[in-house]
Amino acid sequence: MDAMRCLFMLWALCCLSLLRAEDGSRLWLRMERNAGEADVRLGHGTGRTPTLDIAVRELADYWRGDGRVVLQVLPEGPDRDGFTLSRRSDGVSVVSASPQGVLYGAYALLRMQQTGTDLHEGQSVTEIPSYDLRMLDHWDNPDGTVERGYAGRSIWRWDELPEQISPRYEAYARANASIGINAVVLNNVNAKPAMLSPDMLRKVSAIADVLRPYGIRTFLSVNFGSPKALGGLPGADPMEPEVQEWWAAKVAEIYRLVPDFGGFLVKANSEGQPGPQDYGRTHADGANMLADALAPHGGVVLWRAFVYAASSPDRACQAYEEFMPLDGKFRDNVIVQVKNGPIDFQPREPFSPLFGAMKSTQVMPEFQITQEYLGQSIHTVFLAPQWKACLDAETYQDGGLTVAEATQRRLGRRSVSAMAGVSNIGDAEDWTGNSLAQANWYAFGRLCWDTGLEASRIADEFLKQTFTADERFVLPVRQLMLRSWDVAVSYMMPLGLHHIFAFGHHYGPEPWCDVPGSRPDWMPAYYHRADTAGLGFDRSARGSKAVMQYHEPLSTLYGDIRTCPEEYLLWFHHVPWGYVMRNGLTLWDNLCYTYTRGAEEARGFADLWRGMRPYVDAERHADMLRRFERQAKDAWWWRDACLLYFRQYARRDIPADLPSPEHRLDDLKRFRLDIDNYTAADMDKLP
């Protein structure tokens, strides 16, 4: 009997251990619930709303400070969803002009508690968000797949909606509200016309009902050809009255179901998507037609500037060439959504010249949170430094405006400022497929809220809330995160190289790729231009003239090989292999040393993470260690593939003090990683 009892107890302990296994699903919201409810109440004259009820509940459950917390909506409080936190002798007050602002203030108070930031008696803190719309763009499809998604399938279970509402929808809304995100595009920019069908709109309405109390407005990506594909019209010409009437009726239908609907995101005349140019019209014609349909309801149009044609001599120039002639011709409820760089979310790009060029059009930055080009869910690459490099870049518009300043201005009566990020979220238990990739979701929200935040502070906040506040963990891992972007660029595409990934899935190197019949601008050689003379794309005044799209002094700075920042050297110049750079070494030697340094640092990341075992739960430590080890191997794969390939053109040896390649070029060329959505389970398929 004693033996049976022991076996039962052992079984129970095992089950308890499994129940407590860490799956990462709590993200950065790991506050310890109070033993008893905190004293939280609404201030005089503040009536209950669903949003305020959430704020009260969160603080009642998790606030551990002294005294009461008073939440108050006052007309004289901070507007634009801002808030003021004040410490008094008897407790804390949270004041805003809106219920949403009070909710953001409540989460800020909890964040301060979690990170050990004190609010002293008599002290007050006021925050007002940098952007009006702080938006996640989901590239999720109605069939449950996610384009460029690396964390499982879509969190939107369209086949179950509207009858079944997944509890993850509210968990998702809560996570977004905790970092200030207030807008969500539910579906892929490569939109299906069926997204606007009555059946799908009822499903959208059910999701919007869950998001609304958390202050999140719902947007949809729309297919410009929907009047033809869905409405049975002969075409979708934006100047045709019947097309305009169709959109007006469809918009009215949406607002009956989703009264706080935000508007449309549109990808038009890009990568095969229909658009106004199919009918001889301009981007402004198409955007304005939709804007007129949305304007009576308070909606906006987000019109993507990601356009390029196979015939263009330089893909980096085309967005500017198409949109600059239209500056000032868009309605004031249209925002032109511009990727951070001129090409396509590359590991390192100069900022898009459109940010400095369009002075009479509302422009918004679009960043990619999902790591399409940066190791997907395997590599740890903290993206806040990349985004800060863009936001803090000086455009020299009107004498001096950073990208952040240029995009935060409102240019019309109905204009709003906005910033968007392509989501890295899926139905994986930990939401992002990688515990440290959660930091990019977190960082995006925090930078939308305050572009002035430093990357180091954001990393610090994330680590303390998500793992532990123990400085023996926070200090080294924070440094790892802050180095990770530069390290990834070093072992993938240093010195301004870009778009030399494997074809299709973009995981791993393939600078030699040449798919017969494919568009030239989808092939790496279009970008690296390697030959026996040198390496890089000439975008100087003698080449494609892309440098001339920037204001002075940037045009001259980038256009002169002697002054061009070396991180963009091969972006703007075709550089001789023997060109002597500022450290006294040739281009070829710098390429060799940079690739090697990046690979060695990636190996160091794995070593550092091994030492974090005492501070991290076993599940997340083991999972991340496997990813760091794979990242280190990938870094050497990148290093060998690129140096062996470019050596054929440089006709120079790898410096003798550097390690010899571990791989053979012929073997790497034969290797094919035939996957669409790479996951940890596929790690062993790699070289």
For residue 19, being part of any structural domain is answered with: no
User: How many whole angstroms separate alpha carbon 593 and alpha carbon 602?
Assistant: 14
Do 166 and 270 reside in the same domain of the chain? yes
Do 268 and 338 reside in the same domain of the chain? yes
For residue 555, being part of any structural domain is answered with: no
Say yes or no to pLDDT of 6 above 60: no
Strands 575-576 vs 534-535: parallel, antiparallel or unpaired: antiparallel
pLDDT at position 680: 47
Domain final residue, candidates 72, 103, 127: 127
Say yes or no to pLDDT of 284 above 60: yes
Q: Mean of the pLDDT values across residues 639-651?
A: 98
pLDDT at position 63: 96
User: How many whole angstroms separate alpha carbon 69 and alpha carbon 87?
Assistant: 9
pLDDT at position 15: 40
| Catalytic residue chosen out of the listed positions 58, 127, 366, 372 | 372
Any idea what the CATH number is for the domain that residue 244 is in? Answer: 3.20.20.80
Q: Are 315 and 519 in contact (CB under 8 A)?
A: no
Choice between 122 and 564, residue whose per-residue pLDDT is larger:
564
Going from the C-alpha of 651 to that of each of 185, 573, 638, 667, the distances in angstroms are 50, 20, 19, 20
Report the phi/psi class of residue 152: left, alpha or beta, with left for phi > 0 and alpha for psi in -120 to 50.
left
User: How many whole angstroms separate alpha carbon 20 and alpha carbon 399?
Assistant: 57
486: Cβ–Cβ under 8 A, 6 or more apart, which residues?
Answer: 385
Could you tell me the pLDDT band of residue 672, with boundaries at 50, 70 and 90? confident
Domain final residue, candidates 80, 99, 127: 127
The first and second tokens of residue 56, run together, are 């009260």
Q: Are 621 and 668 in contact (CB under 8 A)?
A: no
User: How many whole angstroms separate alpha carbon 478 and alpha carbon 406?
Assistant: 30
Q: Are 150 and 376 in contact (CB under 8 A)?
A: yes
Q: CA nearest 663: which of 683, 684, 685, 634?
A: 634
Say yes or no to pLDDT of 685 above 80: no
Domain final residue, candidates 101, 127, 153: 127
Say yes or no to pLDDT of 126 above 50: yes
Q: Mean of the pLDDT values across residues 96-112?
A: 98
Q: What is the pLDDT of residues 217-228, one digit of tens each?
A: 999 999 999 999
User: How many whole angstroms separate alpha carbon 19 and alpha carbon 14?
Assistant: 9
Do 384 and 523 reside in the same domain of the chain? no
Give φ, ψ of 215 to 5 degrees: 80, 20
User: How many whole angstroms separate alpha carbon 199 and alpha carbon 203?
Assistant: 7
Give φ, ψ of 618 to 5 degrees: -60, -40
Choice between 420 and 34, residue whose per-residue pLDDT is larger:
420
Give φ, ψ of 509 to 5 degrees: -85, 145
User: How many whole angstroms separate alpha carbon 265 and alpha carbon 603?
Assistant: 41
229: Cβ–Cβ under 8 A, 6 or more apart, which residues?
Answer: 193, 223
Q: Mean of the pLDDT values across residues 443-447?
A: 98
For residue 471, being part of any structural domain is answered with: no
Any idea what the CATH number is for the domain that residue 95 is in? Answer: 3.30.379.10
Say yes or no to pLDDT of 544 above 70: yes
- The secondary structure of residue 278, as a DSSP letter, is G
For residue 327, being part of any structural domain is answered with: yes
Say yes or no to pLDDT of 2 above 80: no
Say yes or no to pLDDT of 504 above 80: yes
Do 187 and 108 reside in the same domain of the chain? no
Q: Are 588 and 578 in contact (CB under 8 A)?
A: yes
User: How many whole angstroms separate alpha carbon 635 and alpha carbon 638?
Assistant: 5
Q: Are 574 and 535 in contact (CB under 8 A)?
A: yes
For residue 672, being part of any structural domain is answered with: yes
Do 220 and 322 reside in the same domain of the chain? yes
Mark 599-634 as b/e (b = at least 16 C-beta within 10 Å).
bbbbbebbeebeebeebbbeebbebbbebbbbbbbb
User: How many whole angstroms separate alpha carbon 637 and alpha carbon 630?
Assistant: 10
Q: Are 609 and 625 in contact (CB under 8 A)?
A: yes
Q: Mean of the pLDDT values across residues 421-428?
A: 98
Going from the C-alpha of 25 to that of each of 210, 248, 424, 429, the distances in angstroms are 19, 41, 14, 5
Say yes or no to pLDDT of 679 above 60: no
Could you tell me the pLDDT band of residue 687, with boundaries at 50, 70 and 90? low
pTM: 0.95
Going from the C-alpha of 118 to that of each of 83, 126, 452, 462, 478, the distances in angstroms are 17, 15, 21, 17, 21
For residue 3, being part of any structural domain is answered with: no
The first and second tokens of residue 212, run together, are 């609304």
Q: Which element (helix H / strand E) includes 256?
A: helix 241-257
Say yes or no to pLDDT of 12 above 70: no
Do 407 and 526 reside in the same domain of the chain? no
Say yes or no to pLDDT of 27 above 80: yes
pLDDT at position 35: 81
Could you tell me the pLDDT band of residue 399, with boundaries at 50, 70 and 90? confident
pLDDT at position 312: 84
Do 632 and 515 reside in the same domain of the chain? yes
Say yes or no to pLDDT of 453 above 90: yes
Say yes or no to pLDDT of 4 above 90: no
pLDDT at position 400: 93
For residue 593, being part of any structural domain is answered with: yes
Q: CA nearest 300: which of 332, 253, 255, 275?
A: 332
* SS3 assignment, position 571: helix
The first and second tokens of residue 364, run together, are 């918004």
For the chain, percent of residues with pLDDT exceeding 70:
95
Average pLDDT over the chain, rounded to an integer: 94
- The secondary structure of residue 334, as a DSSP letter, is E
The DSSP secondary structure of 514-543, one letter per residue, reads: --TTS-GGGSHHHHH---SSEES---STTT
Do 395 and 311 reside in the same domain of the chain? yes
Identify residue 128 by its one-letter amino acid code. I
User: How many whole angstroms separate alpha carbon 669 and alpha carbon 512?
Assistant: 8
Q: Mean of the pLDDT values across residues 121-141?
A: 97
Do 245 and 388 reside in the same domain of the chain? yes
Tell me, yes or no, if 271 is annotated catalytic: yes
pLDDT at position 678: 47
For the chain, percent of residues with pLDDT exceeding 90:
91
For residue 549, being part of any structural domain is answered with: no
Q: Mean of the pLDDT values across residues 73-88?
A: 95
The parent domain of residue 394 ranges over 133-466
pLDDT at position 441: 99
| Catalytic residue chosen out of the listed positions 79, 199, 271, 676 | 271
Do 527 and 387 reside in the same domain of the chain? no
Report the phi/psi class of residue 296: left, alpha or beta, with left for phi > 0 and alpha for psi in -120 to 50.
alpha
pLDDT at position 225: 98
The first and second tokens of residue 376, run together, are 């997907």
pLDDT at position 686: 59
| Catalytic residue chosen out of the listed positions 344, 430, 486, 601 | 344
pLDDT at position 674: 64
Identify residue 672 by its one-letter amino acid code. R
Do 242 and 166 reside in the same domain of the chain? yes
User: How many whole angstroms separate alpha carbon 369 and alpha carbon 498?
Assistant: 18
User: How many whole angstroms separate alpha carbon 571 and alpha carbon 543?
Assistant: 12
Do 36 and 162 reside in the same domain of the chain? no
The DSSP secondary structure of 460-516, one letter per residue, reads: HHHHHHHT---HHHHHHHHHHHHHHHHHHHHHHSGGG----BPTTT--SB-TT---T
Q: What's the N-to-C CA distance of the chain in angstroms? A: 54
How many domains is the chain built from? 3
Identify residue 473 by its one-letter amino acid code. F
Say yes or no to pLDDT of 155 above 70: yes
* SS3 assignment, position 218: strand
Q: CA nearest 546: which of 313, 271, 304, 311?
A: 313
The first and second tokens of residue 466, run together, are 């998500």
pLDDT at position 11: 43
